[in-house]
Amino acid sequence: MQHIQSYLDEHKDRFLNELIDLLRIPSVSADPAFKDNVIKTAHVIKDSLLSAGCDHVEICETEGFPIVYGEKIIDEKLPTILVYGHYDVQPADPVELWHSPPYEPVIKKTEIHPEGAIFARGACDDKGQMYMHVKAMEFMTKTQQLPCNVKFMIEGEEEVGSVNLSKFVKNNQEKLKNDVILISDTGMIAQDVPSITTGLRGLSYVEVEVTGPNRDLHSGLYGGAVANPINILTKMIASLHDEDNHITIPGFYDKVEDLSDAERAEMAKAPFSLKEYEKSIGINSVYGEKGYSTNERNSIRPTLDVNGIWGGYIGEGAKTVIASQAFAKISMRLVPNQDWEEITTLFKNHFESIAPAGVTVKVKPHHGGQGYVTPIDSIGYQAASKAYYDTFGKNPIPQRSGGSIPIVSLFEQELKSKTILMGFGLNSDAIHSPNEHFGVWNYFKGIETIPLFYKYFTELSK
């Protein structure tokens, strides 16, 4: 039986080149200008699943972008792994901050990635990580080592909220039936610190609009006598945190689960250097909710952040004006037990209630999703842990992540199965930012580790 190492030695260059070709297609789901490219990417994924050995692959149309579904069922009595990933990417903006064009992948060495990293939008999130599964599948089928059934579900709308995938999952329970869901769309602590993500935060995303006078006004003629929507908006936003950086929305924390001291002590054992953290993002100090560590603030605690704010004159030079309207996009990261729709309502009611006379305020909910936690005593977690042990030579650390993959809690609700999040990216890989990249070493490490998950999951399921 051929070992993964010798298979990789033989096919390494092709595995890299296939990913590079995939990254050349700008599959930005948020921007209608990229529509054809998103659809084209779905077809490329379909072909890749067929060549990797799936018996049956289809493009499932939705009201939005298609879902690519593939399967290989070898024996109904064996367990079934459902692999989920996404082929859509975030917009590359601001493009001028990229050192090489976002859709012309290049491999460059970095301090963290001495073997080189592929720089391109989607390299890590999630084309590179998703494609590890396709190549692991190829290895298992071509060398007759696929130990169980596998289903692939690769969507094109993760970065815009997975609305159509939610419907697809609800309507295709039988087709998607599985024993465990496997996803690589998260990160690990460091190159030499493998970790399995055991939690994701939920999300409520809203847009707010503050309207004052019926037109933009001369800021001299009217200044001081009318409510300035931008002044008001920033004041309202500032009031959403108190001096300890707690969120002031009534009821916001009601369902937040407090971790026990023992759990917090366990979390604190994960290797972390505050100095390096600060240095890596160029800040002179961390900032956040009083009473919690940096790792707690960005994983087990809910947050509220402005993601964008605009209004008034932002062109060259100066224009004296009081804008008629001001806007902001606000995200709230939520923790398990907080219900995103309930939080959205709490936000809306509160934000509207604090609007002073002189302006009107509208809150438009965008999208959201629930958080997720998974226990570490499941067969899936144990199988992942053994797989990492084999390829990294050490046990992985369970880690609750601050990011969100809202569809994961829906999987649990609709398909009644647990998700194992085997991420191979690093926080420094700059996902969603300019110069996103994915380590070549990480890519191959993923391809090496995934088949072992299949093996151990099948063995432990007996």
Binding residues for ligand BES, rule: CB under 6 A, are: 125-126, 158-159, 161, 185-187, 203, 401, 403-406
Residue nearer to Mn ion on the CB measure, 125 or 155: 125
CB of 420 to ligand BES, least distance (A): 14
Q: Does 155 bind Mn ion (CB under 5 A)?
A: no
Taking CB under 5 A as the rule, does residue 126 contact Mn ion? yes
Instruction: Enumerate residues 6+ apart whose C-beta is below 8 A from 350.
Output: 249, 250
* Residue 403 interface partner, choices Mn ion, ligand BES, none, CB cut-off 5-8 Å depending on type: ligand BES
Nearer to ligand BES, 186 or 417 (CB): 186
At how many degrees (to 10) do helices 35-51 and 127-142 cross?
Answer: 20
The least CB distance from residue 167 to Mn ion, in Å, is 20
Give me 43's structure tokens. 């077809």
Q: Among ligand BES, Mn ion, none, what does residue 404 contact (CB within 5–8 Å per kind)?
A: ligand BES
Task: Tell me the closest approach of the beta carbon of residue 28 to Mn ion, in angstroms.
Answer: 12
Segment lying near Mn ion (by CB under 5 A), choices 125-133, 249-257, 276-284, 319-327: 125-133
Q: Residue 355 and residue 174: Cα distance in Å, rounded?
A: 49
Minimum distance of Mn ion from residue 432's CB (angstroms): 6
19 near 134, Cβ under 8 Å?
Answer: no
Using CB positions, name the residue nearest to ligand BES: 403
Give whichever of 138 and 157 is closer to Mn ion, judged by the CB atom: 157
The rounded distance, in Å, linking the Cα atoms of 217 and 266 is: 57
- The length of the chain in residues reads 462
Exposure letters 170-203 (e unless 16+ CB within 10 A, then b): eebeeebebbbbbbbbbbbbbbeebbbbbbbbbb
Nearer CB in complex with Mn ion: 304/408: 408
Closest CB to ligand BES among 147 and 406? 406
Site mask, Mn ion, residues 347-386, x = CB under 5 A? ----------------------------------------
Nearest residue (CB) to Mn ion, 185 versus 429: 185
Residues binding Mn ion: number (CB under 5 A)? 3
Q: How far is the CB of 158 from ligand BES (least distance, A)?
A: 5
Q: Is 125 near Mn ion (CB under 5 A)?
A: yes
- The nearest distance, CB 19 to ligand BES, in angstroms, is 17
What's the CA gap between 336 and 301, in Å, rounded? 10
* Shortest CB 110 distance to ligand BES, Å: 19
Distance in angstroms (rounded) separating the CA atoms of residues 51 and 32: 30
Question: What residues have CB less than 8 Å from 23, skipping those under 6 apart?
Answer: 103, 105, 118, 120, 121, 122, 123, 127, 128
Cβ closer to ligand BES: 230 or 430? 430
Is the CB of 186 or the CB of 344 nearer to ligand BES?
Answer: 186
The least CB distance from residue 123 to ligand BES, in Å, is 12
Show contacts of 159-163: CB within 8 Å, 24+ apart. Answer: 159/29, 159/30, 159/86, 159/88, 159/89, 159/90, 160/29, 160/30, 160/64, 160/88, 160/367, 161/366, 161/367, 161/368, 161/369, 161/406, 162/369, 162/406, 162/407, 162/410, 163/64, 163/367
Among 37, 209, 59, 223, residue whose Cα is nearest residue 122: 37
Q: Is 119 helix (H, G, I), strand (E, B) or coil?
A: strand
Binding flags for Mn ion, 157-196, as an x/- string (CB under 5 A): ----------------------------x-----------
Where do contacts with Mn ion occur on this chain (CB under 5 A)?
125-126, 185
